[in-house]
Amino acid sequence: MSRLQDELKQNKPFPSAAHEGGLGLMRTADVLRRRGAAVVEPRGITLQQYNVLRILRGAGEEGLPTLEVAARMVEQTPGITRLLDRLEVKGLVRRQRCPKDRRQHLCWITPGGRTLLDELEQPMNEAVETGFTKLDETDRIALIRLLDAIRAALD
């Protein structure tokens, strides 16, 4: 019995290695997501909001249009406007209409958003690194390559 079968309390074997791999990937992503959420949620934000802040920090002084923020999200979400609304209410981002295209809104991280990211950077890095402590660098690089291949097949 595999570890995943044990975790899911599944007595029958998986239909295929691909099926087990897919479920294992989803289970692992869920564990990583919960670990990250445990870091950011006490600070009043979600993982998706944390992702938005990181994207906007990387955008620099030019800011980004709302739809570009959505396109760069780790987890795609149809509710990018609501995410930005909540972050704006908290004073972590600011938005304004694009002077060149009034249909677009440009978004920036605020100084308060930068401060929050700075405070969360080390604990988030530690949360992610902990999950990879049993993999050496060769295995980590192989994992990245394999995950890239899976996403490419699904796109």
For residue 124, the enclosing domain spans: 44-154
Is the separation of the CB atoms in 37 and 46 below 8 Å?
yes
Position 26 in a domain: no
Question: Does residue 148 belong to any structural domain of this protein?
Answer: yes
Q: Flag whether 147 is in a domain.
A: yes
Domain assignment present for 35 = no
Q: Is residue 30 part of a domain?
A: no
Q: Is residue 37 part of a domain?
A: no
Nearest to 43 by CA among 125, 115, 126, 128: 115
Phi, psi for residue 133 in degrees, rounded to 5: -65, -25
State which amino acid sits at residue 64: L
Q: What pLDDT does residue 103 have?
A: 76
Any domain includes 39: no
Residues in the chain, overall count: 155
Q: Any idea what the CATH number is for the domain that residue 110 is in?
A: 1.10.10.10
**Number of domains making up the chain:** 1
With respect to residue 20, please indicate whether it lies within any of the assigned structural domains: no
What would the 3-class secondary structure string for 13-59 be?
Answer: CCCCHHHHHHHHHHHHHHHHHHHHHHHHHHHCCCHHHHHHHHHHHHH
**Residue 105's pLDDT is what?**
87
Please report the pLDDT score of residue 1 as a whole number.
73
pLDDT at 64 over 90: yes
What are the structure tokens assigned to 31, written together? 């564990």
pLDDT of residue 52: 96
Nearest to 153 by CA among 27, 6, 25: 25
User: pLDDT digit string (tens) for 101-113?
Assistant: 777 889 999 999 9
- The answer to whether residues 52 and 84 touch, using CB atoms and an 8 Å cutoff, is yes
Please write the tens of the pLDDT for every residue from 86-99: 999 999 999 988 77
